[in-house]
Amino acid sequence: MAAPPLRILQLTDLHLPARAGGRVWGRDVERNLDLALAAATACEPFHRLVLSGDLANSGASAAYERLARRLAPFGDRVRLLPGNHDRRERLRAAFPRHWPGADTWLSFTDELPGLTLVGLDSTVPRRTRGELGAPQLHWLRERLAAMVGRWLLFLHHPPVRVGTWWLDKDLVRDRAQLGEVLAAKPPLAIVTGHVHQEFVGALAGTPVWTTPAVAYQYAPRSWLPLPRARVPALRMLDVVGDVVHTRIVRP
Ligand SMILES: [Fe+2]
Ligand SMILES: [Fe+2]
């Protein structure tokens, strides 16, 4: 019998400030989070809400604590990854049930009926660039050897260039090694954040989709990191069999 359709929502790059109501690039990004969560609620019923990093703008504990309160209504359907703006230890402290172990990387695997979600921590402390590291790639290789059925991969940093020079210098450094690991069992898609814009690419034949931010957007192929649009967005992924129907949702 065919597996039931599954709906996954992705929010990324919230950039919450330390102080409630504080502005980032002139925008009340907490208001943007409220709008994005309302848009997520309008997409019910969904199975998972994945937040793919840059949750806080400067890694402040107060920002994570406010985020935890805002996400509480979604219960155990929430999955989190850190981004380069986050601080692992503070994020873990605000969401202790998400990472009960003492692992260095804040990654996750999540078994849904007929679909596995994997989130890999692509951050390097105090660096902007993305990198997975040999231990994490080894962990992924072992997980894939034991995995049955379809899966989706979430990262903060994209493993492909998006055509913007100041973003492309920080994409996942060990993307070639990631491509080799994925060759054994390719995911349906790789879904990322970090670039604050929508982009479609491919790594080793697997689709790569980047998603606009909740906080603010960068224009494609921009020369400087100056935000343009400040309207939040999220990504909807409907998995039906081996096909993923996806689109960007704006409030
Ligand atoms: Fe970001
Ligand atoms: Fe980022």
Query: Which ligand is nearest the CA of 211, by number?
Result: 1
Whether residue 107 is contained in a domain is answered as yes
**Which pLDDT score, from 0 to 100, does residue 34 have?**
96
CA-based nearest residue to 87, from 118, 121, 110, 37: 121
| Higher pLDDT pick, 195 / 25 | 195
Q: Give distance in angstroms: CA of 92 to centre of ligand 1.
A: 19
What is d(CA 9, CA 233) in angstroms, rounded to the nearest whole number? 11
Question: 1 falls in which pLDDT band (50, 70, 90)?
Answer: low
Total domains in the fold of the chain? 1
Query: Which ligand is nearest the CA of 15, by number?
Result: 1
CA-based nearest residue to 108, from 136, 127, 150: 136
Whether residue 207 is contained in a domain is answered as yes
Whether residue 244 is contained in a domain is answered as yes
Q: Is the pLDDT of residue 3 over 70?
A: no
Q: Is the pLDDT of residue 84 over 70?
A: yes
What is d(CA 171, CA 131) in angstroms, rounded to the nearest whole number? 8
Residues in the chain: 251
Q: In this structure, are residues 54 and 83 in contact, taking their beta carbons and an 8 Å threshold?
A: yes
Q: Give distance in angstroms: CA of 13 to centre of ligand 1.
A: 4
Whether residue 30 is contained in a domain is answered as yes
CATH number for the domain harbouring residue 21: 3.60.21.10
Q: Give distance in angstroms: CA of 195 to centre of ligand 2.
A: 7
Question: 157 falls in which pLDDT band (50, 70, 90)?
Answer: very high
CA-based nearest residue to 150, from 114, 176, 124: 114
**Which pLDDT score, from 0 to 100, does residue 229 have?**
81
- pTM here is 0.97
Region 33-60: what's the mean pLDDT?
98
Query: Which ligand is nearest the CA of 213, by number?
Result: 1
What is the tens place of the pLDDT at every residue in 185-196? Answer: 999 999 999 999
Q: What is the mean pLDDT of the chain?
A: 95
Q: Give distance in angstroms: CA of 122 to centre of ligand 2.
A: 10
Q: Give distance in angstroms: CA of 196 to centre of ligand 1.
A: 6
Q: Give distance in angstroms: CA of 103 to centre of ligand 1.
A: 24
Whether residue 175 is contained in a domain is answered as yes
**Which pLDDT score, from 0 to 100, does residue 21 have?**
87
Whether residue 132 is contained in a domain is answered as yes
Whether residue 68 is contained in a domain is answered as yes
Query: Which ligand is nearest the CA of 167, by number?
Result: 2
State which residues form the domain around 128.
Answer: 6-249
What is the tens place of the pLDDT at every residue in 92-142? Answer: 999 999 998 888 999 999 999 999 999 999 999 999 999 999 999 999 999
**Which pLDDT score, from 0 to 100, does residue 80 have?**
98
Q: In this structure, are residues 236 and 226 in contact, taking their beta carbons and an 8 Å threshold?
A: no
What is the tens place of the pLDDT at every residue in 138-154? Answer: 999 999 999 999 999 99
Whether residue 1 is contained in a domain is answered as no
Q: Give distance in angstroms: CA of 139 to centre of ligand 1.
A: 26
Q: Give distance in angstroms: CA of 64 to centre of ligand 1.
A: 15
What is the tens place of the pLDDT at every residue in 190-231? Answer: 999 999 999 999 999 999 999 999 999 999 999 998 888 889
Q: Give distance in angstroms: CA of 51 to centre of ligand 1.
A: 12
Query: Which ligand is nearest the CA of 215, by number?
Result: 1
**Which pLDDT score, from 0 to 100, does residue 204 have?**
92
